[in-house]
Structure 1
Amino acid sequence: MSSPLRIAVVGAGPAGIYASDLLVKSDVDVEIDLYEKMPAPFGLIRYGVAPDHPRIKGIIASLHRVLEQEEIELIGNVEVGKDITVEEMREFYDAIVFSTGATADKDLDIPGMDLEGTHGAGEFVGFYDGNPDFKRDWNLDAEKVAVIGVGNVALDIARVLAKTADELHVTEIPDNVYEHLGHSRIKEVHVFGRRGPAQVKFTPQELKELDHSENVEVIVDPEDIDYDEASENARREKKAVDQVAQILEGYAMREPKDAPHKLFIHLFEAPTEVLGEGGKVLGIRTERTELDGNGGVTGTGTFTDWDVQQVYRAVGYRPEGVEGVPFDPSESVMPNDGGRVLTEPNGEAVPGLYTTGWIKRGPVGLIGNTKSDAKDTTNMLLADHAEGKLREASKRTRQDVADFFEGKGHPITTWAGWHRLDTAERAAGEAEGRERKKIVEWDDMLKHSGPQDIV
């Protein structure tokens, strides 16, 4: 090929941006169009991280630097499979990398999860992060709520529910989120996990941050601090596991803190049923568990009913497929061999199609995992290119892509458009003494980012 290798990356979150960066830094001349369903980039970092996480939000600065590279062009407000088909994309690109992530909630198969007052973590995260795909109001009339799960998303939800609206107003939360949090009646948040302190999936920094609010007291029952041989081995083998265990021990042993809101972390309590009456949540039932000697747990047959009026399940996200691309619904991933999309699990590679991030491996792991994952995928793509396995696209310029969307009358947003939206959000925040106030409505985002020529 005399012209640059033309690549589309679908999904402008960390996985897609890291893959784009690796391709630009390779010794191959590339031209990358980075597609994003939303009018704005950054995916999980913009719409999946709690607003009071400035350290995590700082990752956007490094992602910014990647997108400033001239080899990469952002094409936002485009849902691949709907606004443009995969077959149509093949006319413009030699290879396509899917990094579409995950926003849907995994189900939890216990009775009562269909009652009014039960919610998936992703629904609430979408609300407080101002995701235009999610609803704008939220009922916070409950005084006691349960959060099922012991990962960082569960901590985020518990922390946001326990904090006051004024504590969060200094962040980028939109006006509708601030208003609803301001009317919250929540006094107690109960986080439930079925195993012990050496098995939780919290990271140390996020667990410490629970205690940074003077309005929130974190409470752990000393009876929930227990270890078997496998647990002790896990603490010795992984520093983070030991740090988390120490933090939980500290919460369990300290003197009570005089704070108006209580955040309980209950370990060795496996939710078995959401209790209700008249179609609404009235409580949650858990079975006490105990360690089995191998780091797992078994039920003891002792049950407890907890008085709560809302239940949030934070048991994981579920990726969804892209129209026209193979998808394995049993695993909720695109079947792949570590990078190449396969026709089915253990099937043949689909020429020119690749995948990275959560849609490739499932919604597990941190940012570091995403980087190494992207490297594996891009190495496969570049190897296929070197071996002449990629089919050359017939239309090879960005003007061809611009003409396509113009012909459909479909507005797109670009990197220049993001800068205008970014400026508008910062200006709105500055007027209130904040760094940023997020613009929520899709049409309002488009008014600022505006259709632009992508050449």
Structure 2
Amino acid sequence: MTEEFFRIAVVGTGPAGLYAADELVQQDRIPVRVDLIDRLCTPFGLVRYGVAPDHPRIKSVTGALSTILEHPLVRFLGGVELGSDIGRSDLLACYDAVVYATGLAADRPLGVPGEELPGSHSARELVSWYSGHPDAAQPFSLDAERVAVVGAGNVALDVARILTKPAAALSYTDMPEPVLAALRASAVREVTVIARRGPEHTRFTTKELRELDTLDGVSIRVPADETLPASDTVAERSVRANLALFEKWSGVPAGERTITFRFWRRPIEIRGEKAVRELVLEHTALDDTGQLVATGGTETLPVGVVLRSVGYHGMPIAGLPFDRSRGVVRQHAGRIVDEEGRACSGEYVAGWLKRGPSGVIGTNRADSADTIAALLDDLSTSGGPRAVRSLDDLLARNGSRPVPLSGWRAIDSREIALGAEAGRDRIKITDWSVLRTLGAHEAPTPVVSNYGRE
């Protein structure tokens, strides 16, 4: 006997996964039930653990995402890890279709000598720590006065801002108390943001750059020896606005706490005997073909911490066909395909795992919609739902107990209560055991979350 509806698994509950679930339950072409599966006990992915804590307006998107979790045709199964609790073959046996939306799990390395030294980290490690991710190393050492951040995107700006912003100005956020305590005691006084190309080529958004100007007691500067293109010679409006800010900051002296921008430089070595002490930079330029080349000049920057923010890439997961050169799952129009380009029946991909690390939160809606359109086309001509195994039975046999929606509500309630005790909206819980314990219990009443509220 076959089911009266198609069972769909969406692996990952960040924006891409949640938007995919929303597309499924809002359509009327075929009847569906959707299971949202996540390794974490909590939903929202990088909105919860990647958006800077002092950006509550962006985090407030969780209000809309929560309505997807609450839909009667959607079920949340947290604390279920692909590859450990369940495998790819298990999913295919339990569901008519599977959508993978797990994001990208690894950081791009700099690929320079000394990168393995203590004090050399990915920016993502720092972001995970101050965002309260349960996997983050505790505590993150902030005993160096000088920090280098290598990268020319908004994550680099987030890191520089959080490291120099007065801790008192972060006390309203959902940061765990140990993080705030570490920031209060931080020795960091100077952060240098390093870009391989010129200021006109950076990926900083003007809004994020302007935010630096609002930091109390922090000097934002571009050394006078940096060559800046005149803003009125550039056609693109956003680039002109960025260049105007860099012009404004040109020659500003260093202060008690400082963010400095250096352009046309790339790391070639990290030095230190037992920990990071220096970062060697090579001067760069564009050749006649537009390729980045070395000019022959170098300089050495004394720093105690190097943070790389040069992008993310995926790692092979669950035996899915993987494009190692791009760091994403092989796919065509959202359908996962093998190396010969043949579709893997019933398997789809959305979000960064599909397209790479690009776009903003809202980009995932259109991306997921395209994937779900392909999935619906396939299922609508498949002859109907098929008999499937029960994921619940499989997890029970494995001794796995997923965190249901009521468990997330219990976690949510406890975080709000912790925040209220400290005069904040929320304080994140970072301990895996506490999250699992809370997630195993029913919330006494449904919670209307104020997650991300200002």
Normalised by the size of structure 1, how large is the TM-score? 0.91
Task: Label 1:239 to 1:393 Cα distance change in 2 as closer, same or farther (>3 A).
Answer: farther
Where 1:181 maps in the other structure, the secondary structure is helix
Q: Does 1:307 align with 2:302?
A: yes
Tell me the residue number matched to 2:16: 15
Tell me the residue number matched to 2:440: 450
Measured against aligned partners, the alpha-carbon deviations of 1:49-105 in whole angstroms (never above 9, x if no partner) come to 221111221111121122221111111000122101121222321000000102321
Residue 331 of structure 2: which of 326, 331, 336 is its match? 336
| Preserved CA contact (<8 Å) 1:82 1:323 | no
Q: Does 1:283 align with 2:281?
A: no
Tell me the residue number matched to 1:260: 256
Q: Does 1:25 align with 2:23?
A: no
Task: Label 1:182 to 1:6 Cα distance change in 2 as closer, same or farther (>3 A).
Answer: same
Tell me the residue number matched to 2:449: none
| Preserved CA contact (<8 Å) 2:217 2:256 | yes
Residues in 2 aligned to 1:242 and 1:184: alpha-carbon distance in whole angstroms:
35
Where 1:91 maps in the other structure, the secondary structure is helix
Residues in 2 aligned to 1:43 and 1:282: alpha-carbon distance in whole angstroms:
34
| Preserved CA contact (<8 Å) 2:3 2:386 | no
Residue 377 of structure 1: which of 350, 371, 374 is its match? 371
The 4+ residue runs of structure 1 with deviation greater than 6 A are none
Identify which range, 302-311 or 9-18, moves more after superposition: 302-311
Measured against aligned partners, the alpha-carbon deviations of 1:347-369 in whole angstroms (never above 9, x if no partner) come to 21100000011111222222232
Where 2:414 maps in the other structure, the secondary structure is helix
Post-superposition offset of 1:7:
0.5
Post-superposition offset of 1:449:
2.1
| Preserved CA contact (<8 Å) 1:197 1:225 | no
| Preserved CA contact (<8 Å) 1:413 1:452 | no
Residue 240 of structure 2: which of 227, 235, 242 is its match? 242
Residues in 2 aligned to 1:18 and 1:159: alpha-carbon distance in whole angstroms:
30
AA aligned to 2:11 is V
Task: Label 1:389 to 1:320 Cα distance change in 2 as closer, same or farther (>3 A).
Answer: farther
| Preserved CA contact (<8 Å) 1:105 1:122 | yes
Residues in 1 aligned to 2:271 and 2:129: alpha-carbon distance in whole angstroms:
25
Residues in 1 aligned to 2:442 and 2:422: alpha-carbon distance in whole angstroms:
30
Where 2:148 maps in the other structure, the secondary structure is strand
AA aligned to 2:316 is G
Measured against aligned partners, the alpha-carbon deviations of 1:306-351 in whole angstroms (never above 9, x if no partner) come to 111111111112222322322233322111113111122x421100
Post-superposition offset of 1:209:
1.7
The 5-angstrom pairing of residues 401-416 of structure 1 reads: 401-416=391-406
AA aligned to 1:271 is P
| Preserved CA contact (<8 Å) 1:85 1:324 | no
AA aligned to 1:341 is I
Identify which range, 147-156 or 300-309, moves more after superposition: 300-309
| Preserved CA contact (<8 Å) 1:90 1:393 | no
Post-superposition offset of 1:451:
5.4
Residue 269 of structure 1: which of 265, 272, 275 is its match? 265
Residue 311 of structure 2: which of 316, 330, 337 is its match? 316
Task: Label 1:436 to 1:338 Cα distance change in 2 as closer, same or farther (>3 A).
Answer: same
| Preserved CA contact (<8 Å) 1:15 1:99 | yes
Task: Label 1:424 to 1:18 Cα distance change in 2 as closer, same or farther (>3 A).
Answer: same
Q: Does 1:186 align with 2:188?
A: yes
Measured against aligned partners, the alpha-carbon deviations of 1:291-313 in whole angstroms (never above 9, x if no partner) come to 44676543322211111111111
Tell me the residue number matched to 1:439: 429
Aligned residue pairs: how many?
441
Unpaired runs of 5+ residues, structure 2, are: 444-454
AA aligned to 1:121 is A
Residues in 1 aligned to 2:441 and 2:167: alpha-carbon distance in whole angstroms:
35
Task: Label 1:394 to 1:407 Cα distance change in 2 as closer, same or farther (>3 A).
Answer: same
Residue 206 of structure 2: which of 200, 204, 207 is its match? 204
Q: Does 1:50 align with 2:36?
A: no
Where 1:288 maps in the other structure, the secondary structure is strand
Unpaired runs of 5+ residues, structure 1, are: none
Residues in 1 aligned to 2:403 and 2:363: alpha-carbon distance in whole angstroms:
29
Where 2:329 maps in the other structure, the secondary structure is coil
Measured against aligned partners, the alpha-carbon deviations of 1:201-245 in whole angstroms (never above 9, x if no partner) come to 1112222222222032211235435349xx989x52x44333333
Q: Percent identity?
A: 39
Task: Label 1:270 to 1:376 Cα distance change in 2 as closer, same or farther (>3 A).
Answer: same
Residues in 1 aligned to 2:328 and 2:159: alpha-carbon distance in whole angstroms:
25
| Preserved CA contact (<8 Å) 1:220 1:265 | yes
Tell me the residue number matched to 1:425: 415
AA aligned to 2:307 is Y
Residues in 2 aligned to 1:383 and 1:239: alpha-carbon distance in whole angstroms:
41
| Preserved CA contact (<8 Å) 2:410 2:441 | no
Residues in 2 aligned to 1:224 and 1:380: alpha-carbon distance in whole angstroms:
50
Identify which range, 385-394 or 86-95, moves more after superposition: 385-394
Post-superposition offset of 1:247:
2.7
The 5-angstrom pairing of residues 70-149 of structure 1 reads: 70-149=72-151
AA aligned to 1:260 is E
AA aligned to 1:27 is D
Residues in 2 aligned to 1:214 and 1:52: alpha-carbon distance in whole angstroms:
14
| Preserved CA contact (<8 Å) 2:165 2:216 | no
| Preserved CA contact (<8 Å) 2:336 2:347 | yes
Residues in 1 aligned to 2:201 and 2:351: alpha-carbon distance in whole angstroms:
24
Task: Label 1:351 to 1:451 Cα distance change in 2 as closer, same or farther (>3 A).
Answer: farther
Post-superposition offset of 1:27:
2.0
Residues in 1 aligned to 2:288 and 2:53: alpha-carbon distance in whole angstroms:
39
AA aligned to 1:241 is V
| Preserved CA contact (<8 Å) 1:319 1:363 | no
AA aligned to 1:137 is P
Tell me the residue number matched to 2:448: none
